[in-house]
A and B are shown apart, each in its own frame.
Chain A
Amino acid sequence: MEYLEFRNVGKAFPGVVALDGVSFTARAGKVVALLGENGAGKSTLLKILSADIKADTGKVVLSGKELSFSSTAQAINAGISVIYQERQLIPAMSVMENVFIGELPVKNGLVDFNRLFLDTKAIIDKFGLPIDPEATVMSLPVAYQQMVEIMKAYRRDCLVIAFDEPTAPLTDTEIDILFNIIRQLKEAGKIIIYVSHRIREIFQITDEIAVLKDGRLVKTLTTPETDQQELISAMVGRDIGDTYASLDRNGEPGSVVLEVDNLCTDAVDNVSFTLRAGEIVGFAGLVGAGRTEVARAIFGADRILSGEIRLGGGSVRFKTPRDAIKAGIALCPEDRKEQGLVLWASIRDNICMPVLHKLKKLIFLDGAAQDRLTQAAVEKYSIRTPSLWKRALELSGGNQQKVILGRWTSDEVATRVLILDEPTKGIDIGTKAEIYQLVCDFAKRGVGVIFISSELTEVINVADRIIVMHNGHITGEVARQDATEEKVLSLAMLS
């Protein structure tokens, strides 16, 4: 019997232990779910499996043979296929050429398009899909593009097929098609790993469940013998440290500063909420629940289809982020490196960026004023750096986040609403605590804070109120006093 075994697999990134001695076994003909919150280590495990990254410790064993690859192509050739959310397809080329990429059939030196067509058609028919082998991949709906990816793995006769959140872009009917195919693969004796945090699906399609938390394997369960409650409590229930208890919070929120009424965008449906000055409102939910999109819509980065936003009582609708910044809204995006910072620029340039127009002497920039402003931010946030001129990319994740926060605190920017999107992602515990206090300091100064986080413990302990989203909707609101991880997670997962 074929099997895939993770033996004591560990992986650390700077400042974060992503995987800590994870061991479990997946057997042929079974679907094993990898379940866990964001940051639990699921993706890291898949990347190790596909040889995208190397484990620091431990090994992966396939039917008794230790796997060690130097490239992802080698892993594929050895029969391991990981289907990521970012599809590895060539959009402008036909389905059949994508399915047989790397091994196009040849006759007399020329590609045998006829056989290619027939062979692809045979696979498509086996899957029972209405796809034209000659259609370009980019002309297909997303679900079918994903099917093409699966057909590719099937054609290569891969023994191990791992799916990373395969249903995220799919509708219910499309999910049914996918599940049918997974069942077929299962019957064909494949080893299937299924990463998801949708509990309903896990009960539908998997046989065993491995629950990960903070890089550790918490539990392995047999699907028919467990229930939702057991799964959720396995996923949560971490120790709540003194960090949260010792936060110096703002006791009394002021008047309403931001009102959102029936906001609709491409990804958000009828979202309404209010935010008071000096209040921290948490947004909880799974990746893709629409939290980031709410922030982007308010900030003028995404198109608003309908609904109203009122800032300080007046109706506003920002066309660009620039307008939003002028009106006193600040956004710290989730992806610090891509969207938050200019990495090769200095700390000083990054901090002064939004207020440069105010730091001028005649037509030239006032260097002394920039230095003062930056120095103040560095001291206030204890950004650990030898000089104001150090480039942002040389800082640790925590210090980078502080630089972004520092950008919005100077007297020159009158921030009224601060939106933080996953502000502590990839940051070590110590710096996290500092950032929580900085967020509370913002609130104490009367800034309304929207705190988006996928870390439950964090969001229910830092925010005054927690709004939970699922699939573009708000599914509930909980006050900090009443918030438990179970309560919030239920709202986020069980629609």
Chain B
Amino acid sequence: MPRRSFIKKPPDTKSVVLLALVAAVLLVTYIVKPGSFTAGNANQILLVISYLGIMGVGVSFLLISGGIDFAAAAHATCSMLVFTEVTRIAPALPAIIPFLAALAFGALAGAVNAALVEGLSMTSFIATIGMASVWNGVVMWYTKGGTLALANDSIIGLTMAKIGRTPVPWVFVFVAALLAVYSTVLNRTRFGRSVLMIGGNAGAARLAGLNPAKIRTMLYINTGALSAVCGVVFLSLSRAFVPKGLTQNTPELTALTATILGGVSFMGGAGKLSGAFLGIILIQVLSYALQILSLPLWIVTVVNGLLLLIALLTDAIAAKGRYALKSKSHAPKAEQTEM
């Protein structure tokens, strides 16, 4: 009886390359500045990877389905504001209540994106950039640009807690678990396979009875909710609501770059969440290394831009053939369909 050949999967070169790059960056940093390998630095990097990773999981899941969300950072910022304000109004409540409020806001904001893109057929690219601007404007209006203090320190501990004496924060473990759950959904459930299918060829998927608009709507909402979680983690780190604290670093672009670096196709239909996560690790380690090596900020900015271009280039190369079914048979003299 024939069996599935589970081991026959092609080697995941992309992940190997990413890991090698991370190792190379660490090695160079260690050689140039051995003193920088401290528990404190490790903790800092892991914390940044954590909140970016949460956003990255949402963004890459959506990207695989063929959608895109440029409003993720704006959603996260607004969610932080919701959390801050709920805490201010009712400081006695346990932190879970403002958290749920932030989560609800994120999901709602995601639903707005879905309504624009899937309901009104707007281009996701532009519609979500537009919504990002709207939400950022709302934050500016509400806060008048000022920092808001947290009414209590109920969530400070969220990012303070570490595993024993290691520099690994518990929130990182949470993100790793989140990644595992979402990876399983993508790779092993019918819903996850449908996400890949609608990203790969929405027309064919629709003809097969799948509902791309409905699936993408769920993913927009999911991205919004995860952005809210990302925001709460960031709030715990910054210990106060700073209107541009998150958006000034354009984490939505970082998440997107990392996602594509990790092998998720910009056009949808292909990719792994673990690859996206590795991409985030690489970008963070690299940018931290550049800072430790005291390179000026402009170099960091240029490097980030180049990374995005490299990621898109590898995606463009990989995409050849993925979307166009080969029109030629292996026989050279076959008739061609007319242009």
Same assembly: yes
Using CB atoms and an 8 Å cutoff, list the residues of chain A in contact with chain B: 72-73, 76-77, 85, 87-93, 97, 101-104, 106, 109-111, 113-114, 117-118, 121, 134, 137-138, 141-143, 145, 152, 168-171, 174, 266-267, 269, 287-290, 292-293, 296, 333-335, 471-472
* B339 close to A171 (CB less than 8 A): no
| Residues of chain B contacted by A145 (CB below 8 angstroms) | 325-326
Cα–Cα distance between A296 and B336 once the two chains are bound (Å): 13
| Residues of chain A contacted by B144 (CB below 8 angstroms) | none
* A287 close to B338 (CB less than 8 A): yes
Min Cβ gap B3→A in Å is: 8
Cα–Cα distance between A346 and B208 once the two chains are bound (Å): 40
* A110 close to B188 (CB less than 8 A): yes
Nearest-neighbor residue (CB-CB) of B198 within chain A = A90
Would you list 5 pairs from A and B whose C-beta atoms are within 8 A, ordered by A residue?
A: A90-B205, A117-B4, A134-B8, A169-B336, A292-B339
Q: Which residue, of B188, B209, B327, B336, has the highest number of chain A Cβ atoms within 10 A?
A: B336
Nearest-neighbor residue (CB-CB) of B270 within chain A = A92
Min Cβ gap A285→B in Å is: 10
| Residues of chain B contacted by A102 (CB below 8 angstroms) | 205, 208-210
Cα–Cα distance between A118 and B4 once the two chains are bound (Å): 8
Cα–Cα distance between A486 and B329 once the two chains are bound (Å): 31
| Residues of chain A contacted by B193 (CB below 8 angstroms) | 93, 97, 104, 111
Summed over the interface, the residue pairs from A and B with CB atoms below 8 Å come to a total of 147
Q: Is the CB of B58 closer than 8 A to any CB of chain A?
A: no
| A90-B205, A114-B4 known, 13 other contacts, Cβ within 8 Å | A73-B209, A76-B207, A88-B207, A90-B197, A90-B200, A93-B193, A101-B204, A111-B189, A170-B329, A171-B334, A292-B339, A334-B339, A472-B335
Q: Given A93-B197, A114-B4, do A72 and B207 touch, yes or no (CB 8 Å)? A: yes
| Residues of chain B contacted by A292 (CB below 8 angstroms) | 338-339
* A104 close to B190 (CB less than 8 A): yes
Q: Is the CB of B13 closer than 8 A to any CB of chain A?
A: no
* B197 close to A101 (CB less than 8 A): yes
Cα–Cα distance between A85 and B327 once the two chains are bound (Å): 10
| Residues of chain A contacted by B205 (CB below 8 angstroms) | 90, 101-102
Interface residues in B186-226 by Cβ distance below 8 A to A read 188-190, 192-193, 196-197, 200-201, 203-210
Q: Is the CB of B322 closer than 8 A to any CB of chain A?
A: yes
Cα–Cα distance between A333 and B326 once the two chains are bound (Å): 23
Q: Is the CB of B328 closer than 8 A to any CB of chain A?
A: yes
Per-residue interface assignment for chain B, residues 79 to 122, with 1 indicating a CB less than 8 Å from any chain A CB and 0 otherwise: 00000000000000000000000000000000000000000000
* B5 close to A134 (CB less than 8 A): yes
Cα–Cα distance between A171 and B323 once the two chains are bound (Å): 23
Cα–Cα distance between A106 and B193 once the two chains are bound (Å): 11
Cα–Cα distance between A143 and B321 once the two chains are bound (Å): 16
Q: Given A90-B197, A102-B208, A111-B190, do A171 and B336 touch, yes or no (CB 8 Å)? A: no
Min Cβ gap B338→A in Å is: 5
Q: Is the CB of B169 closer than 8 A to any CB of chain A?
A: no
Q: Which residue, of B3, B8, B204, B333, has the highest number of chain A Cβ atoms within 10 A?
A: B204
Cα–Cα distance between A138 and B334 once the two chains are bound (Å): 18
* B209 close to A142 (CB less than 8 A): no
* B325 close to A101 (CB less than 8 A): no
| Neighbour of A91 across the interface among B192, B200, B331, B339, CB < 8 A | B200
Q: Is the CB of B249 closer than 8 A to any CB of chain A?
A: no
Nearest-neighbor residue (CB-CB) of B203 within chain A = A88
* B325 close to A137 (CB less than 8 A): yes
Q: Given A73-B207, A169-B327, do A113 and B337 touch, yes or no (CB 8 Å)? A: no
Cα–Cα distance between A93 and B172 once the two chains are bound (Å): 32
Min Cβ gap B122→A in Å is: 19
Cα–Cα distance between A409 and B338 once the two chains are bound (Å): 27
Q: Which residue, of A118, A171, A287, A471, has the highest number of chain B Cβ atoms within 10 A?
A: A171
* B339 close to A88 (CB less than 8 A): no
Q: Which residue, of B188, B190, B321, B334, has the highest number of chain A Cβ atoms within 10 A?
A: B334
Cα–Cα distance between A117 and B321 once the two chains are bound (Å): 24
Q: Given A141-B329, A293-B339, do A90 and B190 touch, yes or no (CB 8 Å)? A: no
Min Cβ gap A122→B in Å is: 9
Nearest-neighbor residue (CB-CB) of A269 within chain B = B333
| Neighbour of A87 across the interface among B321, B325, B338, CB < 8 A | B325
| Residues of chain B contacted by A471 (CB below 8 angstroms) | 333, 335
Cα–Cα distance between A137 and B326 once the two chains are bound (Å): 10
Q: Given A113-B4, A287-B338, do A171 and B203 touch, yes or no (CB 8 Å)? A: no
| Residues of chain B contacted by A287 (CB below 8 angstroms) | 337-338
Cα–Cα distance between A451 and B210 once the two chains are bound (Å): 45
| Residues of chain B contacted by A76 (CB below 8 angstroms) | 207-209
* B201 close to A143 (CB less than 8 A): no
* B210 close to A101 (CB less than 8 A): yes
Cα–Cα distance between A110 and B210 once the two chains are bound (Å): 18
Q: Is the CB of B269 closer than 8 A to any CB of chain A?
A: yes
| Residues of chain A contacted by B1 (CB below 8 angstroms) | 118
Q: Is the CB of B2 closer than 8 A to any CB of chain A?
A: yes
| Residues of chain B contacted by A89 (CB below 8 angstroms) | 201, 204, 325
Q: Is the CB of B330 closer than 8 A to any CB of chain A?
A: yes
Q: Which residue, of B1, B189, B197, B203, has the highest number of chain A Cβ atoms within 10 A?
A: B197
* B4 close to A134 (CB less than 8 A): yes
Cα–Cα distance between A103 and B16 once the two chains are bound (Å): 34
Cα–Cα distance between A334 and B337 once the two chains are bound (Å): 13
| Residues of chain A contacted by B184 (CB below 8 angstroms) | 110
| Residues of chain B contacted by A269 (CB below 8 angstroms) | 333
* B335 close to A73 (CB less than 8 A): no
* B206 close to A90 (CB less than 8 A): no
Q: Given A89-B325, A138-B326, A170-B329, do A288 and B4 touch, yes or no (CB 8 Å)? A: no
Cα–Cα distance between A345 and B196 once the two chains are bound (Å): 37
Cα–Cα distance between A88 and B200 once the two chains are bound (Å): 11
| Residues of chain B contacted by A85 (CB below 8 angstroms) | 337
Cα–Cα distance between A72 and B204 once the two chains are bound (Å): 10
Cα–Cα distance between A170 and B334 once the two chains are bound (Å): 6
| Residues of chain B contacted by A266 (CB below 8 angstroms) | 328, 332, 336
Q: Given A90-B201, A92-B270, A102-B209, do A138 and B336 touch, yes or no (CB 8 Å)? A: no
| Residues of chain B contacted by A77 (CB below 8 angstroms) | 209
Q: Given A90-B205, A117-B4, A174-B329, do A288 and B210 touch, yes or no (CB 8 Å)? A: no
